[in-house]
Amino acid sequence: MDPIEGPDLPPLPSEITFELEAPWPNPFNPSTGLAFNLGARRTVQLRVFDLQGRLVRTLLDGDYAAGRHTVQWNGRDDLGRVASAGVYLARLTDGWQWRSRPMVLIN
């Protein structure tokens, strides 16, 4: 079978970058930093979940330009209550893909 002929396809653009960096410090008390990288403008959500999958905190929910962005989590839930010591997951999503990182809150 002959290969399909046609115009050369362009290389994949760097705009497909979608990365959630490791939190720092980790373990942490009372707060930790989270950074993420986008290759293109996207609508993203950055949320914190406990290990049972319950939403603890929504850190970001909106449109962000390409580049590196940072946010702090102060160890509190959406109602301002201090979260219990334990393991949490930071999850970044754009609706099509997601990345997650574990975080350990200590007393």
pLDDT of residue 8: 57
Q: What are the pLDDT digits (tens) for 65-92?
A: 999 999 999 999 999 999 999 999 999 9
Point out which residues pair with 60 in neighbouring strands.
46
Point out which residues pair with 69 in neighbouring strands.
36
Task: Provide the pLDDT confidence category of residue 39 given band limits of 50, 70 and 90.
Answer: very high
The answer to whether residue 57 scores a pLDDT higher than 90 is yes
CATH assignment of 14-105?
2.60.40.4070
